[in-house]
Amino acid sequence: MKILVTGGTGYIGSHTCVELINNGYEVVIVDNLNNSSIDVIDKIQQITGIKPVFYQVDILEKDGLEKVFEENQLNAVIHFAGYKAVGESVAIPLTYYENNISGSINLYQLMKKHHVNNLVFSSSATVYGDDFDVPFKEEYGLGTTTNPYGTTKKMNEMIITDMCKADSDLSCVLLRYFNPIGAHESGLIGEIPNGIPNNLVPYIAQVVSGQREYLNVWGNDYNTPDGTGVRDYIHVVDLARAHVKAIEYALNHKGTEVINIGTGKGYSVMEVLKAYEKACGKEIPYRIMNRRPGDIAVCYADTEKAERLLGFKAEYDIDRMCEDSYRFTRMLDK
């Protein structure tokens, strides 16, 4: 079985390629290396013993992308490629809509033309917005997004759902990720933030490595046990394994399914900070700041559907997520 992985040298994509290869799939990666490095291909080979086929192609360039479909007999596509920075999407919305929507439409059109009927798409818990009560359930549907990035995820979900209604051969799994963190246990692949990290764990990692003085804790007056924001952090390797399950599901079913991928458990900012302190053996300086605009108090998944349809349940706890993140950061510093 040959799987096209767009964005396969990125953070979640690279871990997913490792799990796919470990489960006997052939992997073809398409990435323009906008937010990742070619070295990742060698790292995947070091971990798995197999070098994935790689095309440095921008999904906005349809001719280049079509060559990949012509040269490979593909069974399915996992579509990670896209921009993901919430703040940046507010500043340059058209760039986000072009890459995340036009790029995706190019891909879906080529899938149709070349009769590739199975798709797994990277969606996000951000599509729930602030409209619903936790735990977030898939049946809630789409909430009000608060930034162009989130809207591109919502629009992709709508486009894919319409495609599936129009074509009964299609099988599409829309995975709504909660908060992926951590890294591969080898320390060879992980998340390398571009510039000042926006996300909690990459920021903590830079405080620990001395690149930043202290963590800004965005608000401690939320209606949560310690007042700081609560999120459903999931180990990126667990998330990668969920993609293998989703591919198996797509290959054996038709139609669209929306599935949350989280642990079902929420941790506060202070709890994550404490877990990271345990992992690195140091105290991590922090300051309580005002709330960050657009943040919600609590976000965690109802995981029943992932368990029922995919047989997927996350295995790693917050301590392991922080240990693996710390190991990767130390390898980067070397």
316 is a contact residue toward ligand NAD (CB under 6 A):
no
140 is a contact residue toward ligand UFG (CB under 6 A):
no
99 is a contact residue toward ligand NAD (CB under 6 A):
yes
Cα separation, 202 vs 188, whole angstroms:
16
218 is a contact residue toward ligand UFG (CB under 6 A):
yes
> Which residue in the set 3, 4, 5, 11 belongs to the binding site for ligand NAD (CB under 6 A)?
11
Cα separation, 85 vs 69, whole angstroms:
29
Q: How far is CA 260 from CA 16, 120, 231, 257, in A?
A: 17, 13, 14, 10
Q: Half-sphere exposure (CA, 13 Å, Cβ side) for 255?
A: 3
Return the axis-axis angle of helices 11-22 and 236-252, rounded to nearest 10°. 60
Tokens encoding 330: 């130390």
Cα separation, 243 vs 8, whole angstroms:
12
151 binds, among ligand UFG, ligand NAD, none (CB under 5 to 8 A by kind): none
Question: Stretches 27-35, 208-216, 262-270, 296-304: which one binds ligand NAD (CB under 6 A)?
Answer: 27-35
- Taking the complex as a whole, the smallest distance from the CB of residue 10 to ligand NAD amounts, in Å, to 2
Specify whether the CB–CB gap between 255 and 171 falls below 8 A.
yes
9 is a contact residue toward ligand NAD (CB under 6 A):
yes
Q: Which is nearer to ligand NAD, 117 or 124 (CB)?
A: 124
Cα separation, 170 vs 205, whole angstroms:
41
Q: How far is CA 63 from CA 58, 116, 199, 246, in A?
A: 10, 17, 35, 28
Question: Stretches 34-42, 215-223, 239-247, 314-322: which one binds ligand UFG (CB under 6 A)?
Answer: 215-223
Which residues are known catalytic residues? 149
Site string for ligand NAD, 221-250 (x = CB under 6 A): ------------------------------
- Taking the complex as a whole, the smallest distance from the CB of residue 128 to ligand NAD amounts, in Å, to 12
Site string for ligand NAD, 100-119 (x = CB under 6 A): ---x----------------
- Taking the complex as a whole, the smallest distance from the CB of residue 74 to ligand UFG amounts, in Å, to 28
**Residue 136: count of CB within 10 angstroms of its CB:** 24
**DSSP-assigned beta bridge partners for residue 171:** 118, 255
Specify whether the CB–CB gap between 224 and 268 falls below 8 A.
yes
217 is a contact residue toward ligand UFG (CB under 6 A):
yes
- Taking the complex as a whole, the smallest distance from the CB of residue 81 to ligand UFG amounts, in Å, to 15
- Taking the complex as a whole, the smallest distance from the CB of residue 124 to ligand UFG amounts, in Å, to 4
Comparing CA positions, the residue from 326, 271, 273 lying closest to residue 300 is 271
Considering only residues 65 to 94 of the shown chain, the ones binding ligand UFG according to CB under 6 A are 84, 86
180 is a contact residue toward ligand NAD (CB under 6 A):
yes
> Which residue in the set 124, 151, 256, 303 belongs to the binding site for ligand NAD (CB under 6 A)?
124
> Which residue in the set 28, 29, 36, 157 belongs to the binding site for ligand NAD (CB under 6 A)?
36
DSSP-derived pairing of the beta strands 267-268 and 230-231:
antiparallel
41 binds, among ligand UFG, ligand NAD, none (CB under 5 to 8 A by kind): none
> Which residue in the set 231, 241, 243, 327 belongs to the binding site for ligand UFG (CB under 6 A)?
231
Specify whether the CB–CB gap between 189 and 37 falls below 8 A.
no
Cα separation, 281 vs 278, whole angstroms:
5
* List of residues contacting ligand NAD (CB under 6 A): 7, 9-13, 30-36, 58-60, 80-82, 84, 99, 103, 122, 124, 177, 180
